[in-house]
Amino acid sequence: MLAVHFGAGNIGRGFIGSLLYQANYHTTFVDVNDAVIQELNEKQQYNVVLASENSETLTVKNVSGINSITDPDKVVEAIVNADIITTAVGPNILAVISELIAKGLQARMKSNQHPLNIIACENMIGGSSLLKEKVAEHLTEEERTSFDAIFGFPDAAVDRIVPNQANDDLLEVSVEPYYEWVVEETAIKGAKPSIDGVTYVADLKPYIERKLFTVNTGHAVPAYIGRYMGYATINEAMNDQHVQEIIKGALTESGEALIQTYQFDREEHQTYINKIIQRFMNPYISDEVTRVARGPIRKLGPNDRLIRPASIYLDVTGKEPFHLAKTIASALEYENEQDEEAVKLQQMITEDGYEKTLQSVSELDVGHPLIPIVLTELEMIKSLKK
């Protein structure tokens, strides 16, 4: 069985690659990072180390790599022969890889008509659907119709904290023990890929929203508030009492939004929240606040982890989501010269002010009630600054 995986980064190697190996796939990683690709081809294996007391290690074998910049034809050939395609490149890169995927699918269509599923494993709602749309932009009308019959783009939710790596071994990756990979069964074409650790569900929406608006919303608190308070790592931030209060409040607000939208069991949801807070406090993981905070413009988007749960909470309870609003305010204050979106966000604020910038990145209507709540919190969080 052959898998082609775009993005040999933290989630690619540390999560998707490791489950594919255990399901007996040979995984060909496609990436633009030549050093990683060369190392994959040389070593043909790498270690995944669990961030826990015993540091249990899995050696992932049957792997190779292709540099998509220098060898696009090899990527096309790999797609022709693939049994599954997965991605973990980041939401903004899906459009970038879509042309090469389209070329691969066009070549495949000429050589065989076996069904194939392409699963985007990104922190976003509708990742595979977006990739499908972007791939379609490179196809003719006729190709779109015939491709629809055999190429599936099931949406997915992936959950495993994999921090940036600082190992001597370029390929080794340290991951938290917990993981969850949920895939939309109804969009699968042909036989369902049999991968231990994948949960197939008919309707992904409740799963992806529960994950994004709990794990990612929660993580955004120590990231943005922590950075604002001067902390460098998630662990340091999580040990601060203010951060703990804000994360509990924010997850109660997003929890209420989720419970009222999807009728989740209140007690089970609280257990889910508590477990996630414990995961953020894992002493064996050192995660920089800047990794979790990366891409603040995307994270302040209308359907992402902060604005959407805050808006739903306002709608369903009529109450102010002030813990989420504090986190949104600290995201607006996020500064990092290494992060293109952070630099752009600060430029927008300098030129247009907070209110207009928030409206623009979050696509909130003028006069949306969340805006004054966030503006008030921008003042309130000043007391947190050390």
Ligand X SMILES: NC(=O)C1=CN([C@@H]2O[C@H](COP(=O)(O)OP(=O)(O)OC[C@H]3O[C@@H](n4cnc5c(N)ncnc54)[C@H](O)[C@@H]3O)[C@@H](O)[C@H]2O)C=CC1
Ligand Y SMILES: O=P(O)(O)OC[C@H]1O[C@](O)(CO)[C@@H](O)[C@@H]1O
With a CB cutoff of 8 Å and minimum separation 6, the contacts of 295 are: 90, 92, 339, 341
Residues 237-296 that bind ligand Y (CB under 6 A): 292, 294-295
Pick one of ligand Y, ligand X, none as the site partner of residue 257 (Cβ within 5 to 8 A by kind).
none
Joined tokens for residue 48: 């995944």
Residue 366: how many other CB atoms lie within 10 Å = 8
User: What Rg value do the Cα atoms of the chain yield, rounded?
Assistant: 21
- From residue 104 to residue 143, the character string flagging contacts with ligand Y as x (rule: CB under 6 A) and all else as - is -------------------x--------------------
Minimum Å distance from CB 354 to ligand X? 26
Q: According to the binding rule CB under 6 A, does residue 116 interact with ligand X?
A: no
Residue 75 contacts residue 100 (beta carbons within 8 Å) = yes
Using CB under 6 A, count the residues that bind ligand Y.
Answer: 9
Q: According to the binding rule CB under 6 A, does residue 9 interact with ligand X?
A: yes
Rounded to whole angstroms, what are the CA distances from 189 to 27, 153, 158? 20, 8, 20
- From residue 18 to residue 57, the character string flagging contacts with ligand X as x (rule: CB under 6 A) and all else as - is ------------xxxx------------------------
Residue for token pair 């109450």:
319
Minimum Å distance from CB 46 to ligand X? 13
Binding site for NAD(+), by residue number, is 3-14
Phi first, then psi: give them for residue 207, nearest 5 degrees.
Answer: -70, -45
Minimum Å distance from CB 96 to ligand X? 4
Residues 92-111 that bind ligand X (CB under 6 A): 93, 96-97
Using CB under 6 A, count the residues that bind ligand X.
Answer: 25
Residue 72 contacts residue 42 (beta carbons within 8 Å) = no
SS3 call for 343: helix
Angle between helices 94-111 and 141-150 (to 10 degrees): 80
Q: What residue type is 230 in one-letter code?
A: G
Q: According to the binding rule CB under 6 A, does residue 219 interact with ligand Y?
A: yes
SS3 call for 228: helix
Binding site for ligand X (CB under 6 A): 6-12, 30-33, 68, 88-91, 93, 96-97, 122-123, 158, 160-162
Binding site for ligand Y (CB under 6 A): 123, 159, 161, 215-216, 219, 292, 294-295
